[in-house]
Chains A and B, each alone.
Chain A
Amino acid sequence: MSSTAPTVVTTTDDPAVAPPRGDGAPGRREGRVAVGLERRAVLRALAVAVVILVAGLFVPDLITSSYYMGVAADGVVLGIMAAGIGFLAHRSGLISLGHTAFYGGSAYGVAIFTTHWGWSPTTAAVVAVIGGTLLAVAIGSLVIRITGFGFLMLTLAFGQALYALSTLTSLRDVTGAFDGISVVFSGESQKVAGLTQAQLGAPDTFWPLAWVCLVLVVLGLWLVGRSRFGVTLEAIRENEERARFSGYNTYLPRLGAFAISGFCASIAGVLFALKASYVSPDVLGFQLAGDSLVATIVGGFTILIGPVVGALLYIYAQGRFGDTGNLELYMGLALIVVVIFLPGGVVGFVTDRVVRLRARLWRGRKGAGS
C-alpha cells in the first residue's frame, strides 16, 4: 500500500493515531493492511512457487510410464484453461462455457501461423496468445454486462460460432474444415523454448514447458486475486450495486477478469497445438467446453489449484474410462456428487477437512497444556 492509502489501523508507533479498541482478540491483524498485496505474502508466494516449480521439473523422473506422463501433460494443459475458468467463476461469479473460443482460437492461430504463413513457432505462439486474449476482450466487451444464465448461454454461443466457422468448407484452405490442420514448423527457427517439434510431441520433454506455464499462470492468478484489483472483483461479485455506489465502474474490472481468464485459455490452446501438432474443430467444440467446466467444478474453483486438480482427474478418468465409453457416465456421477455433497469441489473438501483437523489438534494441544 502506498503511503497515501487509507488504513483503518496503523501501528501504535504513530501517536497521532489512536490504537484500536479490543486489542488482544485472536486473529487481529494490527499494522496489517487488508487491501492489496503485502510484500511478505508476495515473497512467500514467490518462494513457494519456485519450490513447486523446481520440484515439478522432476516429475518425468518419477513417472516412468510414457502413458501416464502423457496424461499428466494433458492434464496440465487442460488445467491451465480450467484455472482461468475457475478464476473467472470465483472472482466474478461468471460461469463460462465459451473459453474454447480462446483455447481453440489460439490453437488454430499457431497452426495457421506456422503451417500456412511460415512463422517461427515462438512468434506464432506469442501472437496466438495475444490474439486469443484480444478475442477474449472483444467477446467479453459484448457479454460481460450479462450475468448468470444469460452469460453462460452467450459464451456458449460465441464458442459454437467459432466452431461452426472452423468447419466451413469455404475456409478449408485455411482451417482444414472438419479435417483440421497440422502444425508444421517450417520457419527458420524451428524451436520453442529450446524444444524441437519432436520434443514438444514427447510428454517427458514437453512437460517442463507446460509445468512452467502452469506454475506461472497459477502464481499470476494468485497475485491478481490478492491485489487491489482482485479485491475490487470480489466486491463486485459480492454486491455489484454497492460497488457502483462506492464509486466503482463495474464493467471494466469484470472485462479485465474475463480477459485474464481468456489469456489463460489462450496459453493452454497454444500448448495443446504445440504438443499435438494438429488442430481440429474439436478444440472449439461443445464437448471440450463442457469437460473443462466440469473439471473446474469437480476440482472446485474457490481454491486456485482446484480446477487444475479437477483437470488432472478428468484427464486421468478420460484415459481410464474413455475406451469403455463410460467416461461421461462417471464424470456425470462425479459432478452430481460434488454439486450435492462437496460444494467446494474435491480440493475445497480436502482443504476444509485439513483445516478442521488442524483446529481440532490445536484445541487438543491447548487442552492438554492447561
Chain B
Amino acid sequence: MSGPVLRAEGVTLRYGAVVAVDHVDIAVAPGVLHGVIGPNGAGKSSFMDALSGRRRLSGGTVHLDGEDITKRNVAWRRKNGMARSFQKTSVFNSMTVRTQLEMVARRNREDDLAGIVSAFGLEPYLDEPCISISYGLQRSVDIAMALIGKPHVVLLDEPGAGLSQEESVRMLDHIRGLCSERDVAAVLVEHDVDGVFRVCDEITVLSLGKVLATGKPAEVRANPAVIEAYLGSQA
C-alpha cells in the first residue's frame, strides 16, 4: 500500500471554551475507506469540517498528497483533490441534475461524467430540478458531485442520513465499490455502525472529541474501551 493521501495530525477545533475535536490524528491511503464513528456529540462532523477546511483549525495540520493544506481554502482543496459531501444534503435545488453535474464536471475536469451518472442511476432524472426529486436521489447527486473529477480523497459526512435502512445499506455498498473502483480514499462519518464495520477498511472511534481507538474493524470491535464507551452490546 502506498503512503497516505490524507494525513492529519493533532487536529483540534474549539468553539469558545468547548473543545469539539481534540488532537485527532488520521492517515488514509488511496482506495482505503476510513470510517469515523462515535456517539452524538463526539465531534465527528466537526472533524470533517476541520479536515475539509470548512472551519479553521485551532491546532494541528492537514496534509493532502504530502502538501500542507491547513491554510488552503475549500475551493483550492477541491481543485487539488479533496472533496466532501454534507450531513444535510447540499445540492443546487433549482438547477436540474444535469446542469449541476455538468457544471461541477467542467470545473473539475471530469471526463467520465456519464459513468458517474450511471453509477448512481441518475439518468432518468437528469432534466429534473433537484428540488423535485426524492431526498434519496438528492443524496446521490450530492455524493456524485463529490466524486466528480476523481478526487484523491473524499469526505463523506453521514451519506446514509435521511435514508431508509435499506437505502442506507445500498448507499454504503455503492460508495465502497466506487472508492475501490476509482482508487479514491474516503473518510466516512456514519451513524450506521454495522454499515461502517461492514464496508470500511479502517475505523477511528471518537468520544468527546478525542480518539478512543483506531485500527482495522476487527481490532476496533474488540477494543474494550470502545465496547464500554460506545458499542456496548453491539460488539
Contact = CB atoms under 8 A, between A and B. Distances in A.
A7 interface: yes
A5 B86 CA distance: 27
Contacts of A246: 78, 103-104, 107-108, 145
Nearest to B82: A245
Contact of B98 (A9, A21, A238, A247): A9
Interface stretch (B20-28, B117-125, B180-188, B195-203): B117-125
A20 interface: yes
A28 interface: yes
A367 interface: no
B69 to A, nearest CB: 14
Q: Which of A21, A25, A34 has the most CB of B within 10 A?
A: A34
A247 B101 contact: no
Interface string B144-178: 01100100000000000000000000000000000
Given A6-B110, A245-B74, A246-B104, A27 B83 contact: no
Contacts of A18: 114, 118
A22 B123 contact: yes
Given A9-B114, A235-B103, 14 more contacts: A6-B102, A25-B124, A25-B127, A33-B102, A34-B99, A228-B106, A231-B95, A235-B100, A239-B93, A244-B74, A244-B78, A245-B54, A247-B79, A250-B75
Contact of B90 (A4, A7, A239): A239
Main secondary structure of the interface of B (DSSP, over half): helix
Contacts, number: 109
A165 to B, nearest CB: 36
Contacts of B40: none
A242 interface: yes
B95 A245 contact: no
Nearest to B102: A35
Q: Which of A6, A17, A33, A242 has the most CB of B within 10 A?
A: A6
Interface in B54-109: 54, 73-75, 78-79, 83-84, 86, 90-96, 98-108
12 contacts: A8-B113, A20-B126, A22-B124, A232-B103, A235-B100, A238-B93, A238-B95, A242-B86, A245-B84, A246-B108, A247-B149, A249-B73
A241 interface: yes
Contacts of B100: 235
Interface string A223-265: 0000010011011001101111111111000000000000000
Contacts of B75: 244-245, 247-250
A29 interface: yes
Contacts of A6: 102, 105-106, 110-111, 113
Interface of B: 52, 54, 73-75, 78-79, 83-84, 86, 90-96, 98-108, 110-111, 113-114, 117-118, 123-124, 126-127, 145-146, 149
A242 B104 CA distance: 10
A291 B232 CA distance: 66
Contact of A8 (B78, B101, B146, B149): B101
Given A6-B113, A20-B123, A235-B103, A34 B96 contact: yes
A238 B99 CA distance: 13
B135 to A, nearest CB: 16
B78 A21 contact: no
A25 B117 CA distance: 18
A35 B106 contact: yes
A10 B86 CA distance: 30
A20 B113 CA distance: 13
A232 B75 CA distance: 14
Nearest to B98: A34
Interface string A1-41: 00011111110000001101110010111000111000000
Contacts of A242: 86, 90-92, 145
Nearest to A21: B123
Q: Which of B98, B110, B124 has the most CB of A within 10 A?
A: B98
Given A18-B114, A247-B104, A235 B92 contact: yes
Interface in A272-326: none
Contacts of B90: 239, 241-242, 245
Contact of B83 (A4, A231, A234, A245): A245
